[in-house]
Amino acid sequence: MNARDWALITFTILVQMSVGSIWVLGVAHFFAARKYGNEEADRLSDRALLALVPVIVLAFIASLLHLGNPFNAYRAVTNLGSSWLSREIFFGVIFAVLAFVFAFLQWRKFGPFVLRNVIAWLAALDGLVLVFSMSHIYMLPAEPAWNTWATPVSFFATTFLLGALAMGVAFVANYAYLQRKQADCAEAQCTLMREAMRWIAVAAVLLVGMELVVLPMYLVTVAGGSAAGLASVKLMAGTYGWVLALRVLLAFIGAGVFAMFLYRNAMSEGHEKMLGSLTYAAFIVVLVAEVLGRVLFYASHVRIGI
């Protein structure tokens, strides 16, 4: 692990979290608006949306840190025809611009609702293409530990898992803020927050379940594929075995155990404080788990050849 690897870990994790967040926000806003109208839905999601802006900015600053010559960074989109890295940067910049424009318009309530909706959809769809491109960067024939279907699957799992829990944190923080501002406002918001948290808990349990099913299949496939693949698995299970163990344990605790409690506490009113603490805990534990997973991803790849 060196500074460059940490730059890539930061960039990929934050970008994926942002893409997942846009989707979670969109779904939450859609169902919230159906139940309580656009105004209440906006109050649920607007601050969460604004919080994404610094996250995306941070992600792109991190991405520059892994370059030897960042002054040439603008050239990174000049090989769209054959380089997935070019495509990633291309769709990444589009995602950032759309997300910023949408966040600004939504914050200021500029422009018609339909226009804002269209921009949000474009950002969300572009985000999927972005994560897809990102995963294909690593699918190189010379890198057997990366060149499997598990790369896109795990990237998308990280996307929605961190997106869901990050927005969970944003929702409970937003609710606490609203309550502090005016204690009686929170009737509809309380219901919306609790319902969002219930679905976020369900999503977390399903996604971490998927991760835990994919992991052994992935290890077996890579170990049996080639000598370099076997060397990678030996690194993952041997030298970095403790990282792998900790990653699995934390994912299970955060998105499994904590999410179960989250679901139960979100069932009825009166547990908002507990709900908040649980959400923060689940997010932090899962974030650490996903970062460890990504550390493993960069630390254990063994290229074939010399």
Partner 1 sequence: MANQKAFYFDASSCIGCKACQNACKDKYDLPLGVRWRRVFEYGGGNWLFIDGVESPNNVFKYFVSTACQHCANPVCRDVCPAAAITKRADGIVLIDPEKCIGCRYCQWACPYGAPQFNEETKVMTKCTFCADLQDQGLKPACVDACVMRCLDIGDYDELRNRYGSVADIEPLPTGNITHPSLVITPHKHAEPSGQGTGSILSLPEEV
Interacting residues toward partner 1 by CB under 8 A: 4, 66-70, 72-73, 75-79, 82-86, 89, 137-138, 140-143, 226-227, 301, 303-306
End-to-end Cα separation, the chain, in angstroms: 20
CB of 231 to partner 1, least distance (A): 12
Cβ closest to partner 1, residue 57 vs residue 67? 67
Cβ closest to partner 1, residue 74 vs residue 268? 74
CB of 278 to partner 1, least distance (A): 40
CB of 89 to partner 1, least distance (A): 7
Cβ closest to partner 1, residue 85 vs residue 212? 85
Cβ closest to partner 1, residue 209 vs residue 225? 225
Stated as kind and residue range, the H or E segment containing 302 is: none
CB of 227 to partner 1, least distance (A): 7
- In Å, what is the CA distance from 146 to each residue of 113, 118, 274, 299? 42, 35, 40, 12
Q: Kindly give, in sequence order, each residue whose CB lies less than 8 Å from that of residue 188, ignoring residues fewer than 6 positions away.
A: 36, 40
Cβ closest to partner 1, residue 67 vs residue 118? 67
CB of 124 to partner 1, least distance (A): 25
Helical H runs in the chain? 3-64, 84-108, 113-137, 150-181, 186-225, 227-234, 241-251, 258-265, 272-299
Cβ closest to partner 1, residue 7 vs residue 58? 7
**What angle do helix axes 150-181 and 113-137 make, rounded to 10 degrees?**
140
3-class SS of residue 269: coil
Query: Which tokens in the block code for residue 93?
Result: 């910049």
CB of 24 to partner 1, least distance (A): 30
Query: Which tokens in the block code for residue 189?
Result: 């918001």
* Whole-angstrom distance, CA of residue 89 vs CA of residue 69: 16
CB of 138 to partner 1, least distance (A): 8
Cβ closest to partner 1, residue 229 vs residue 254? 229
* Whole-angstrom distance, CA of residue 149 vs CA of residue 128: 16
Q: Kindly give, in sequence order, each residue whose CB lies less than 8 Å from that of residue 289, ignoring residues fewer than 6 positions away.
A: 246, 247, 248, 250, 251, 254, 255
